[in-house]
Amino acid sequence: MASVQTADIRQAFVTHVDDNRLMDCMRCGFCLPACPTYIHSDQDETQSPRGRIALMKAVRDGTIAWDGSIEEAFDLCLGCRACEPACPAGVQYGILIEETREAIQSVKKQSLKERIVRKGAFEHLFADQRKMKTAVNLVTFYQKSGLQKVVRKIGFLELFPPFMKEMEQILPEPAKRSRPSMDKAQVQVKVAFFAGCLMDTLFQETNRRTIELLEKFGCEVVIPKGQQCCGALHGHSGELDKARRNARSNLAAFDVVGVDFIVNNAGGCGAFLAEYDQLLEQDPVLATKAQQFTAKQIDISSLLVKLGAVAYLESLPATASTELVTYQDSCHLRNVNGVKEPPRDILKAVKDCTFVELPGADLCCGSAGIYNVLQPEMASRILASKMMEVKGVQASTIITTNPGCLLQMKVGIEREGLSATTRALHLVDFMYEKVR
Amino acid sequence: METKILEQLVAITGSQYAKTTAAQKLAYSYDATPNFQAMPDVILSPGSTEDIQAIVKVCATHRIPIISRGSGTNLAAGTVPTAGGVVLLFNRMNQLLELDEGNLTITVQPGMITSEINALVEPKGLFYPPDPSSMNISTIGGNVSENSGGLRGLKYGVTRDYVKGLTIVLPNGELLKTGGKLAKDVAGYDLTSLYVGSEGTLGVITEITLSLIPAPASKQTLLAFYNHLEEAAEAVSSIIAAKIIPTTLEFMDKGTIETVEDFMNIGLPTDCEAMLLIEQDGDPLIVEKDMALMHQLCMEQGATSTQHAQTEVEAEQLRIGRRSALSALARKRPTTILEDATVPRSEIANMVKAIQQIADKYDLVICTFGHAGDGNLHPTCLTDARDQEEMLRVEAAFSEIFEHAIQLGGTITGEHGVGEMKSPYLEWKVGAAGMEVMRNIKKAVDPLQIMNPGKIFAKDTKKRVVVQHG
Ligand SMILES: Cc1cc2nc3c(=O)[nH]c(=O)nc-3n(C[C@H](O)[C@H](O)[C@H](O)COP(=O)(O)OP(=O)(O)OC[C@H]3O[C@@H](n4cnc5c(N)ncnc54)[C@H](O)[C@@H]3O)c2cc1C
Ligand code: SF4
Ligand code: SF4
């Protein structure tokens, strides 16, 4: 632990963490059963929303001396925000944890591992879409060139944290560009597509299909140039300034007035985009534009349902195939945007599959940005229990609506040795299979 | 706490079940009660009754306070370690021990979450009625120790009515078993009842046997809305007077309705002054008849509109809405202080009116909701703990509310217990003789005063504020 002075951190909390928001918590505990880290720590109040809020308050009020145990309680929060819809008092936990992380970042000297991850991630990869592309091209080269095989053989990856090793196994095959195959319908609405940095690189093919689907259901799709990573990863890690920087670039890139919706296919990004109004609340120039931007946000499943995808899917002839399909919610899509039914409605409408609800689908899978890199132990525990449920429902396909969750499900499938019987897919890819 | 003693205690559970970090101590320094906080020395999760006996013996030797803690949802500071010491958790002791369908009993460990009991027995066509609003979070050990009630209390009573037997670790480490599965058992003092509602001050409960009843065959839910508080209260009285005992008869005033609607978005009208949530369960024909009559009585007392829940999902939404009332009220002001004043059912209208007058007199916002059917009201003051002047007015107002409740033949707590928060008022209700008997019981059972010290028994009794014309 780098030495952080209690007085400094207290001052940072006073500066960054809003006292009134802390006072909103009346400590009733209604959020406890919703919180994955509380559940997976054998009900440790320290790892609960109520406990974390009490800790924030204690640090801010100076009733507790700063030490590693307090920091750990904040680090272990997934930021999944399941505590928010569960809270009758309307506590804005998401903002509180972001402010807390910002306060900590403002005084802390980070560990070497964290510094490297952060610098690489926040100042290069996720700050500049071109760099992201280069990085992914490297991965692609690595996979194609046969280097992957060699590296696996010599055990080079043993040097990395276990999670990196698994990531390496589950990285999608480099996309083979398929040709557009669907007819476009007559244009009903004009949408701008938020491509997302991970989605646009690792899951390029999914993005292409998203656009095709949109066009099939009557959208004119524009893809604004110069858009950047939404800033969620920065924001959730306490780098709010960097998140604002990205938000400003995106506001510049998007023509808010000229489109009906701004659509995304990544739950985590969608939630962050939908809160640009809060993020830029204080911005004298951009506050209004941010509000308009926020108001037009929609996720792909909600938009497709709006455009009549359910009736269309129901009208398709059934085939003999009987696939058992289940759905893992994207925490942010569900908890922040309140989108629960549309993805399920789509899956239920597909004739040649049977939809089973995954028990605990509303609980975070443990992916949460770079959480699984920084908190491998808790992430593993959460993922293991998730995979237990998957085995329980015997699903052959797990659908997700966020790239992080998709990768995490793939890791889970690998780990449990289920790859022969189970696959994980983005909702768009699954629907694309069925619609053609 | 000396390091040597701490090591002894931690050795009993093993270090993976002991919490000692600064963050952990802080996280167990409070419960759902506003304005109370104090740090424990260590937090232990014993795995068995034997572990608890060993812990209690070490604590008895060194006179260390023991605070049993369920989920810390109590509203009387019952689990705040105001004298330091050991906080005992039951998160590892949350198992089903026996479901005896022949005797209609279930035996569980104290850490089981209340709502889980129903999840276990419902598939067998059985039912455990007590349902405190906190039931998805609270533990059964906490319910027994607070003698909790809930929305179904009017027809089915409170926790006490279902506790048949207990296993208790006494303050000297010995084991006491009270009651059992017998339907009839009158041997000696009723020690089971003594422990129900004892708030962790007489020992640690480690096993609980509860009685179950057959699940009711059907259930219906009705809402009635009023333009005047008094009309809603009169409707309650007229239902009771018509000799109907509904399962649930709950009251919410305007402020409460508004905030619940804000949280739930279930379409409650926010322009009415009061609302009743009424449920009846049992034989379908009787339910049908009772509901029709209650509907008629509600209309006669001036209901502006009524609404029947069409599906169980809809009914459950309404119940969740009512159960969230307290927490939802926290949306309005920073601090939410709830009370638990209870009056005879015939006095509901008078009490509701008095609360409004007292709120006006002290210039405070007090919203009221509660179990109107059993006279148990929760006047809830929306305030700001940082405003000292206002807090003085809050305290004065609540004193006056208690005073008024007692004058109407009521009590200072219907279901939340005394804890530390309400200890200064206990004597008002039980009198000097009552306090003397309770103190003597406490002294006899826990002579070293290590079991949840500072709770129930206050250092000073509050002076009554209103002593004129009784
Ligand atoms: C929003 C909200 C709504 C509520 N609604 C209701 C309601 O409708 N009806 C109602 O009656 N109450 C209600 N309560 C109060 C509270 O939920 C109940 O008192 C509940 O029974 C407490 O359970 P717990 O597990 O949280 O116990 P805790 O709060 O942890 O403990 C309560 C008391 O029990 C003691 N205790 C706990 N376990 C043991 C044990 N094993 N052995 C000995 N002593 C023990 C503790 O020392 C303490 O004195 C509500 C609270 C909140 C916050
Ligand atoms: S549910 Fe809300 S008010 Fe209650 S403890 Fe959790 S955060 Fe606080
Ligand atoms: S954001 Fe998720 S992990 Fe963090 S406190 Fe809320 S529910 Fe728990």
Contact between B91 and A43 using a beta-carbon 8 Å cutoff: yes
Pocket test for ligand 2, best of A24, A25, A32, A56 (most atoms within 8 A of CB): A25
A29 neighbourhood in chain B, CB within 8 Å = 32, 71-73, 134, 137
DSSP A126: G
Distance from CA of B90 to the nearest CA of A (A): 10
Over residues A394-400, the mean pLDDT reads 92
> Please, are residues A270 and A297 in contact by the beta-carbon 8 Å criterion?
yes
Of B30, B91, B334, the CB nearest to A27: B30
Q: Report CA(A117)–ligand 3 centroid distance (Å).
A: 23
Structure confidence by residue, pLDDT tens digits, A304-355 = 999 988 888 888 887 777 789 999 999 999 999 999 999 999 999 888 888 9
B188 burial via Cβ count (<10 Å: 0-12, 13-18, 19+): exposed
Whole-number percent of chain B with pLDDT over 70: 98
More confident position, B244 or A286 = B244
ipTM over 0.90: yes
H-run or E-run covering B249: strand B248-253
Per-residue confidence (pLDDT) for residue A23, from 0 to 100: 92
> Please, are residues A191 and A158 in contact by the beta-carbon 8 Å criterion?
no
Per-residue confidence (pLDDT) for residue A228, from 0 to 100: 83
> Please, are residues A339 and A306 in contact by the beta-carbon 8 Å criterion?
no
Plot region of A369 (φ>0 → left; ψ -120 to 50 → alpha; else → beta): left
Structure confidence by residue, pLDDT tens digits, A80-125 = 999 999 999 999 999 999 999 989 988 876 655 566 555 555 555 5
- Residue A76, pLDDT > 90, answer yes
- Residue B416, pLDDT > 70, answer yes
Q: Beta strands B96-100 and B126-127: pairing type?
A: unpaired
Per-residue confidence (pLDDT) for residue A155, from 0 to 100: 37
Place of tokens 């120039």: A285
Contact between B137 and A48 using a beta-carbon 8 Å cutoff: no
Structure confidence by residue, pLDDT tens digits, B263-301 = 999 999 989 999 999 999 999 999 999 999 999 999 999
> Please, are residues B207 and B166 in contact by the beta-carbon 8 Å criterion?
yes
Per-residue confidence (pLDDT) for residue A119, from 0 to 100: 59
Give SS3 for A330.
Answer: coil
Confidence of residue B381 (pLDDT cuts 50, 70, 90): very high
Q: Exposed e or buried b for every residue in B453-463, given b needs 16+ CB within 10 A? A: bbbbbbeeebe
Contact between B27 and A73 using a beta-carbon 8 Å cutoff: yes
Q: Exposed e or buried b for every residue in B398-437, given b needs 16+ CB within 10 A? A: bbbbbbbbbbbebbbbbbbbbbbbbbbbbbbbeeeeebee
The residue type of B179 is: G
Q: Report CA(A50)–ligand 2 centroid distance (Å).
A: 6
The pair of structure tokens assigned to A109 is: 């000297």
Query: Relative to the CA of A27, which ligand 2 atom is closest?
Result: 5
CA distances (Å), A367 to each of A24, A373, A411, B315, in order? 29, 9, 10, 36
* Ligand 1 proximity of B9 Cβ (cutoff 6 Å): no
* Ligand 3 proximity of A49 Cβ (cutoff 6 Å): yes
DSSP for B289-344, please give it.
Answer: HHHHHHHHHHHHTT-SEEEE--SHHHHHHHHHHHHTHHHHHTTTSSEEEE-B-B--
Over residues B135-154, the mean pLDDT reads 95
* Sign for the pseudo-dihedral over CA of B295, B296, B300, B305: positive
Per-residue confidence (pLDDT) for residue A403, from 0 to 100: 85
A344 burial via Cβ count (<10 Å: 0-12, 13-18, 19+): middle
Confidence of residue A197 (pLDDT cuts 50, 70, 90): confident
Contact between A54 and B71 using a beta-carbon 8 Å cutoff: no
Contact between A27 and B24 using a beta-carbon 8 Å cutoff: no
* Ligand 1 proximity of B70 Cβ (cutoff 6 Å): yes
Mean pLDDT of chain B: 92
Contact between A27 and B31 using a beta-carbon 8 Å cutoff: yes
- Residue A45, pLDDT > 80, answer yes
Query: Relative to the CA of A86, which ligand 2 atom is closest?
Result: 1
Which of A262, A304, A307, A308 shows the shortest CA–CA distance to A430?
A304
Per-residue confidence (pLDDT) for residue A239, from 0 to 100: 83
Which range is most confident: A3-17, A347-361, B208-222? B208-222
Residue of A nearest to B331 (CA): A89
Structure confidence by residue, pLDDT tens digits, A198-236 = 776 677 788 888 988 898 888 888 888 888 888 887 887
Mean pLDDT of chain A: 82
- Residue B311, pLDDT > 60, answer yes
**Chain centre distance of CA B215:** 23
Over residues B417-425, the mean pLDDT reads 88
Per-residue confidence (pLDDT) for residue A30, from 0 to 100: 96
**Nearest-angstrom CA–CA distance, B197 and B213:** 22
Over residues A163-170, the mean pLDDT reads 54
Q: Compute chain A's Rg from CA coordinates.
A: 22
**Nearest-angstrom CA–CA distance, B388 and B394:** 10
Least confident range of A224-228, A405-409, B221-225, B452-456? A224-228
Whole-number percent of chain B with pLDDT over 90: 80
Query: Relative to the CA of B195, which ligand 1 atom is closest?
Result: 43
* Ligand 3 proximity of A336 Cβ (cutoff 6 Å): no
> Please, are residues A268 and A369 in contact by the beta-carbon 8 Å criterion?
yes
Q: Report CA(B69)–ligand 3 centroid distance (Å).
A: 22
